[in-house]
Amino acid sequence: MMVAIRKISSLSILLLTILFFHSCNQIERNCNLFKTGEFFSEINYDGVLFSSTFSRDDKNIQIEKFQGKIDSSKVRWINDCEMVLSPINPKKLSGKKNILIKILTTTDTSYSYEYSFIGENKKLKAVAIKIK
């Protein structure tokens, strides 16, 4: 009986220790800082560096300048750190795909994020810097 109690106590201590260290490694995200503003982002895709600037307003519209073209999207926040971009008036059929963006980490002036077209498994990662 004493052996069983020691095993349970040892197991309890081990679980509490794991929970303590796991909670210490939680990444804090303050995604609300990035719901509006002007941003700069660079993305390395297949060895090529792409950059864009974009702005989001309080009316849930994002306007992006990428490779000399300007695109607008509606922003729908799923939660504080995830959003879906839906293109407004896409010119091509491929431009109609919605994009899921998940903010992974934040600092005072930037955030790292992953994004993918909804329904596709390929996820890319990038960093956005708030410039205004």
Q: In this predicted model, what pLDDT tens digit does every residue of 53-75 receive, in sequence order?
A: 999 999 999 999 988 889 999 99
Residue 3 pLDDT greater than 80, yes or no: no
Indicate whether 64 belongs to any domain: yes
- Look at residue 23 in the predicted model and tell me its pLDDT: 47
Query: Would you call 44 exposed, middle or buried from its count of C-beta atoms within 10 A (0-12, 13-18, 19+)?
Result: exposed
Whole-number Å distance between alpha carbons of 51 and 115:
15
Mean pLDDT, residues 69-84 taken together: 95
- Look at residue 4 in the predicted model and tell me its pLDDT: 41
Residue 14 pLDDT greater than 70, yes or no: no
Mean pLDDT, residues 32-45 taken together: 92
CB atoms near residue 27 (< 10 Å) = 7
Indicate whether 16 belongs to any domain: no
How many domains does the chain fold into? 1
**Assigned token pair, 50:** 């792409």
- Please tell me the pTM assigned to this model: 0.75
Indicate whether 73 belongs to any domain: yes
Structural domain boundaries enclosing 71: 31-130
- Look at residue 67 in the predicted model and tell me its pLDDT: 87
Indicate whether 5 belongs to any domain: no
Indicate whether 2 belongs to any domain: no
Indicate whether 94 belongs to any domain: yes
Indicate whether 14 belongs to any domain: no
Q: What's the CATH code of the domain at 95?
A: 2.40.128.120
Residue 49 near residue 42 (C-beta atoms within 8 A): yes
What's the mean per-residue pLDDT of the chain? 83
Provide φ and ψ at 99, rounded to 5°. -120, 130
**Assigned token pair, 79:** 């939660």
Q: Which of 49, 84, 50, 55 is nearest to 66 (CA)?
A: 50
